[in-house]
Structure 1
Amino acid sequence: MSARYYIGVCSLHLPLFTALINVLLQAIEMNAIAVPSSNCYVFDNSSHIIDFSSWVGQPFEYEGKDSDLVVRFCKDVENRSQMGYVDFGRFDKFNSFVSGSGHANFVQDYYYGDLTSCEQSHDKLGRTALVNVICGSCLNGQCKGGLGCICNITYESNCRVIVDLAIPCANQGPRVFKGFTVGFHPRSWEIVYNGLTQLGFEKPHRAFSFSTEQTSVALYMTAIASLSSSIQKPIIQVYPENGLEVKVSGSGATGSYPTTLSPSMLMIDWRCYVVRDIPYEVNVTIPVADYEPISFFLTKMCEKRQDVQGDSTKGWATFGILSCIFIVVASLFCCGGFVYKARVQGQRGIDALPGMALLSACLETVTGAGPSYPRAEGINSGLVSEASWDHPPSSSNSQRTWTPTDKNYGSI
């Protein structure tokens, strides 16, 4: 009895457990690879991102005979002595932090140090430093464990120093599709830059929401041509599902491969049907073969309901179609009536047009004028009066005297 009850409970909870796993996997897939909070990150040789943001400013000191060299990780390199500090370069967002080769896993460049006696050195950048980052311990076995140490320093000149720094490197992050950008213009990258989702779009932000009046957004995608064929069709997810209608179009929606010379466009048309105080969340996920998917969030405010596009012109379209039908039918009717009256009734000219008799009657009624055709009596009377004097008087009327009429028609 208890065994059957246990099996029944397990079979009941199995679908719920499966649904929960699917939801968790979906949530993991929707997470965007956001740009780190600092510029102290690097891509290894396999395009995996390694974030060193927690190491910013961490000091590593190397004691020398006359001076000490201090490396403040992702910040600057200093030479400290009794004479004071000498800056050998600073690290900022324009400095390079790239993967290395040989004994160095990564390489950092520090520029714009002190200019004293180094005004013309290294492209007029002042004192500079090159830091070779070694993951693990030094080759000579120094500084095992802990936060690491400086293994060796080499002064190429008074203006440049090379430092070997050993630290325990962080674990590899997701594999990033470098060279991929998404922006609001063909040559911009406000949303995604170098495969990393920029701050403001890595998760829903009310401050970055689009207004209700903006019914469409155009996104331009570019990628390295050699890897653009790995990009797949985007996936759109809306939360909540009801209340905001989202439609995508453009070359980016059909799976067109974007390049730096020919960006693909992804058009997002959205309409508000349910008013909501909290913005709607639209998650755009672009799968990439052999890489983590590109994911970012767009938010849309719905302060009022929006009509469906085309409702305002639907009435005019109907009117235009009916007008065309009426014109075609009227033309066929006129042509048919004209042919019938001309062939059957023998009418010619304007009289053969259908409706001319009715139009003429209406015009006569409005103007109040009678028929414009002369009456037969008038025509005959004129002919009789003009021709009556041409006939000579008969013999029976010979006694009558002929008197000319008052009108003068000339001498006969």
Structure 2
Amino acid sequence: CYVIDNSSYIHDFSQWLGHPFEYDGVDYAIRFCKDVESRAQQGYVGFGRFNYFVAGSGRYDFVQEFYNGDLQHCETSHDKRGRTAQLNIICGDCPNGRCKSGLDCVCNVTSESDCRVIVELAIACEKSGQRVFEGFTVGFHPRSWEVVYNGMTQYGYEKAYKDYSFDTDQSQVSLYMTAIASVSKLVQKPTVTVSPETGLEVTLSGSGADGSPPTTLSPTLLDINWRCETARDSPYEVQLTIPVEGYDPIQFSLTKMCEYQ
């Protein structure tokens, strides 16, 4: 439950996941990043489950979309998504000042049709985090992004994991980097640190090591060459840092086993 704003800063709403909001006017209930329902004596009607979270425009800071709600009487909806909902998020108070006890309340609910509702929600938004270099990828293939996707390090590569480690006898691993062509020149030369500092020799080579601009049509190649000098039971953590001008650096870790020299 996170979103990148229009200035490329990330906002982490993980602690809001499933947080309930109710709108007494028409008995609607919203669970943040989960679902939207209308509630009545006859029962609940689902207006969709959480689908995506994006930056907003105008007076709305962020937007969540909810798809695949109850299908009854909405069988002809677009792509048969059933009932759907859109949650427009305002960082602050409602325009109509409806939040009587501070922030965090539903400002308004509008029914576009029997199959779609638009909800306005005012909350105290989370402080922004790092500035993400959107569109940047790192993977083991020119068209893959196992390590970094859309500027964000993926699970398994944010720190050392033995389950994601490279074997002792593997002396090299190749990574392919891509970026949006218009901003690819912002990518600078990567650096590497090893923990523990001694016992594993690591060098970088390839066009990616030289700081050549990566693009989606012409990915750059970063070869990590490593040689075990000291055997140990636990793995080495090889952390790579790729500076990006005007953004927080891209950082990820590779895990290397050295069970023998």
With the shorter chain as reference, the TM-score category is: over 0.9
State whether structure 2 residue 109 is matched by structure 1 residue 148.
no
Aligned to 2:11: 50
Aligned to 2:75: 119
Q: Which moved more, 1:115-124 or 1:125-134?
A: 115-124
Aligned to 1:300: 256
The CA distance in 1 between the partners of 2:39 and 2:228, in whole Å, is: 63
Higher-RCO chain (CA-CA 8 Å, sequence separation at least 6): 2
| Alpha carbons of structure 1 residues 103 and 144: separation in structure 2 relative to 1, 3 Å | farther
The CA distance in 2 between the partners of 1:144 and 1:237, in whole Å, is: 52
State whether structure 2 residue 156 is matched by structure 1 residue 195.
no
| Alpha carbons of structure 1 residues 62 and 115: separation in structure 2 relative to 1, 3 Å | same
- One of 83, 88, 108 as aligned partner of 1:132: 88
State whether structure 2 residue 48 is matched by structure 1 residue 89.
yes
Aligned to 2:34: 75
SS at structure 2 position matched to 1:173: coil
State whether structure 2 residue 233 is matched by structure 1 residue 277.
yes
Q: Is the CA contact 1:183–1:192 (under 8 Å) kept in the aligned structure 2?
A: yes
State whether structure 2 residue 196 is matched by structure 1 residue 240.
yes
Q: Is the CA contact 2:168–2:259 (under 8 Å) kept in the aligned structure 1?
A: yes
Offset from partner CA, 1:332-391 (integer Å, 9 cap, x none): xxxxxxxxxxxxxxxxxxxxxxxxxxxxxxxxxxxxxxxxxxxxxxxxxxxxxxxxxxxx
Q: CA deviation at 1:248?
A: 1.2
| TM-score, structure 2 normalization | 0.97
Aligned to 1:226: 182
Q: Is the CA contact 2:134–2:151 (under 8 Å) kept in the aligned structure 1?
A: yes
Aligned to 2:23: 62
Q: CA deviation at 1:101?
A: 1.2
| Alpha carbons of structure 1 residues 153 and 260: separation in structure 2 relative to 1, 3 Å | same
The CA distance in 2 between the partners of 1:128 and 1:236, in whole Å, is: 47
Aligned to 1:204: 160
What is the total number of aligned residue pairs between the two structures?
Answer: 261
Q: Is the CA contact 1:204–1:297 (under 8 Å) kept in the aligned structure 2?
A: yes
Q: Is the CA contact 2:92–2:103 (under 8 Å) kept in the aligned structure 1?
A: no
| Alpha carbons of structure 1 residues 272 and 145: separation in structure 2 relative to 1, 3 Å | farther
Offset from partner CA, 1:18-56 (integer Å, 9 cap, x none): xxxxxxxxxxxxxxxxxxxxxx11111110000101001
Q: Is the CA contact 2:146–2:154 (under 8 Å) kept in the aligned structure 1?
A: yes
Amino-acid identity (%): 66
Q: Which moved more, 1:285-294 or 1:273-282?
A: 273-282
After TM superposition, the structure 1 = structure 2 runs for residues 3-22 of structure 1, keeping only pairs within 5 Å, are none
Matched to 1:74, the amino acid is C
Q: Is the CA contact 1:137–1:145 (under 8 Å) kept in the aligned structure 2?
A: no
State whether structure 2 residue 216 is matched by structure 1 residue 255.
no
| Alpha carbons of structure 1 residues 119 and 265: separation in structure 2 relative to 1, 3 Å | same
Structure 2 runs not aligned, ≥5 long: none
Q: Is the CA contact 1:216–1:267 (under 8 Å) kept in the aligned structure 2?
A: yes
Structure 1 or 2: larger strand share?
2
State whether structure 2 residue 132 is matched by structure 1 residue 171.
no
Q: Is the CA contact 2:93–2:103 (under 8 Å) kept in the aligned structure 1?
A: no
Aligned to 1:336: none
The CA distance in 1 between the partners of 2:127 and 2:3, in whole Å, is: 12
Structure 1 stretches of 4+ with a deviation exceeding 2 A read: 144-147
Matched to 1:76, the amino acid is D
| Alpha carbons of structure 1 residues 145 and 105: separation in structure 2 relative to 1, 3 Å | farther
Q: Is the CA contact 1:201–1:297 (under 8 Å) kept in the aligned structure 2?
A: yes
Q: Which moved more, 1:285-294 or 1:185-194?
A: 185-194
